[in-house]
Structures are given as C-alpha cells and as structure tokens.
Amino acid sequence: MDEQPRDPTQPEPAEPAAPLTPAPEPAQPATGWVPPAPEPEPTPGWIPPTDGKPSRILIRVLAGIAVAVAGALVFTIFLGGSSDPHDQALEEFSQRLSAIPEFEARYGDVESGDEAFRLGQQLGVAGLARLPDDRLLRYWQLSNAMLALADDADCAAIMRQTIDGTDAAAIVRRLEIDEFREMLDITYTALESELKDTPGPAAPTSADMEAASFALAGALGQDTVVELGTTLSDTTAEDAAVCRAARNFVGGILDLEEPHRSTFLRYMVVQGP
C-alpha cells in the first residue's frame, strides 16, 4: 500500500520536557537565633526617645504658656496708663520697646491690642529661643507662677491657646510687682534679640531630647508622664484636669537636673506654635 503523505500542518512531536529542579529550601536560622521583636506602638501622650519626631502635639500645648505670656505683655502696652505700679512698669516697657529702631520701623504702626497680642506671640516666642539658659529658665519659672495664679477656666484657655489678649494680660498682672517687672525685662530682652537677630544657643538635638525624655520618665514615672500627656492632649478634658496636668508637667520639667531641664524648656519655645 502506498504511504499516505504527511500533513504539513501537523506539529512535530515535542521534545520531552526537562525535569523541574525543585526550589532550594530556605536557609534555617542558626541554633539559638531569636527573631527581632516588632517595634512597639507609641503610647498616646508619651514623649518618646526621639527620632526627630517627638510628641509635637504635647510640646505645642505646653508652648501655649509662652505664647500667651509673650502676647499678653506686648498687648498690655495698649491698655493705657495709671498710677498702678503694674501700669507704670508697662509704660516703661513700652518706651523701651519704642526706642528700639527695628521695632519702630517694623511695628510702629500697630494700632490695636489684637495686633499687639499677635505681634507678641510671633515675635516674643521667637526671641525666647535666643535667650541664654538662665534667663529662659527664669521666664518659665515666672510663667509657672503665673499659671498657679490663674483660675481653671483661664488656665485651660492658655493651654488650648484660645485665650484672648485681655484675659491673658489680666493673668500676667496677678504676679507681684517685682516678678512682673522681671518678666517684662526678660520679655524685652527676648524681643530685642529677635529684632536685632542676636544669635542664641543651638536648638536641642534629637539625642538631647531622647536623654531628656528618659530623665523625665525616671523622675515622674512613665505612667505618670503618659497620664499627664494624654490629659493635656485631650480637647474634651475638664478645665481642672487640664490645669492640674499642666502645672504638674511643667513643675516636673523645672525640677529636672541640667542639662535635661534646659533641653525641654528650650525645645518648648523652639517648637512653639
């Protein structure tokens, strides 16, 4: 019988597939190897050892104290004078400010208390960062004394940065006249330093804040620090709880040994609102 012709479209027989090589088994860890623990979740309210990102919310809340005081002291120069010793001190403060050429050139046209309050907040806090450690410490000590004299509503308004110039000025004026004059003098130095661009100490580093955070946790107890920080960051907390937390927290910082105390005090103005 004749052989039938092969269909040219019919595929050639396939070559047998090469056997698959099994994937290598993953290397087994050496005997005794322990996997690294996962990174812990940050605890709300805690100022952790920093990586450049400390609890900015809490720091900014505490910085509200400096903002309120600085703004209030500039605000008060627009309230008018009298024979009251506090008003006399403010009149002198106003004259000294006006005598600074840079102040007069940049802010001589400020005509309202609201403008002056904002000016004090912006210019004053920036100037505080230029103060040497001893003057900055005294500023915070006086601010803490002022906070102790405020009622719960005003104190909480300071911490929440909702206080207005009139109420802030009234709180600052509760200081004894000697302390009031001292606060004015420190504020003047801060304003002058900012206006004249006087160099100040270097801002705290991440390593500085890490060491200060551990020192604060050691002094107050980490649970206490967490509790205070959580209260200060809670916008729904009662006024009395906010004020108690603020006073205890600032008091704890003021009681730290150096250099950790200065680290916190400076960081609170450097990172201010």
Residue 3 lies in a domain: no
Determine how many CB atoms are found less than 10 A away from the CB of residue 266: 24
Question: What span, in angstroms and rounded, lies between the C-alpha atoms of 62 and 78?
Answer: 27
Give me the number of domains the chain comprises.
Answer: 1
Structural domain containing residue 237: 56-270
Residue 43 lies in a domain: no
Band (pLDDT 50/70/90 cuts) for residue 60 is very low
Average pLDDT of the chain to the nearest whole number = 76
Residue 188 lies in a domain: yes
Quick one: pLDDT at residue 79? 53
Residue 273 has pLDDT above 90, yes or no: no
HSE value, Cβ hemisphere, 13 Å, CA-based, for 34: 3
Both tokens of 51, joined, read: 């990586």
> What does the pLDDT look like over 141-176, one tens digit per residue?
998 998 899 999 999 988 888 888 778 878 888 899
Residue 196 lies in a domain: yes
Residue 46 lies in a domain: no
Residue type, 168: A
Poorest-pLDDT segment among 27-41, 113-127, 180-194: 27-41
Residue 74 lies in a domain: yes
Quick one: pLDDT at residue 187? 87
Quick one: pLDDT at residue 54? 35
> What does the pLDDT look like over 244-254, one tens digit per residue?
999 999 999 99
> What does the pLDDT look like over 62-96, one tens digit per residue?
555 665 666 666 665 555 555 688 888 888 887 88
Residue 10 lies in a domain: no
Quick one: pLDDT at residue 259? 96
Residue 16 lies in a domain: no
Poorest-pLDDT segment among 74-78, 182-186, 212-216: 74-78
Closest CA to 126 of 61, 195, 53, 52: 195
State the helix-helix crossing angle for 177-195 and 56-75, rounded to 10 degrees: 100
C-beta contacts of 83-87 below 8 A and 24+ residues apart: 85/177, 86/173, 86/177, 86/180
Quick one: pLDDT at residue 10? 52
Closest CA to 192 of 269, 114, 98: 98
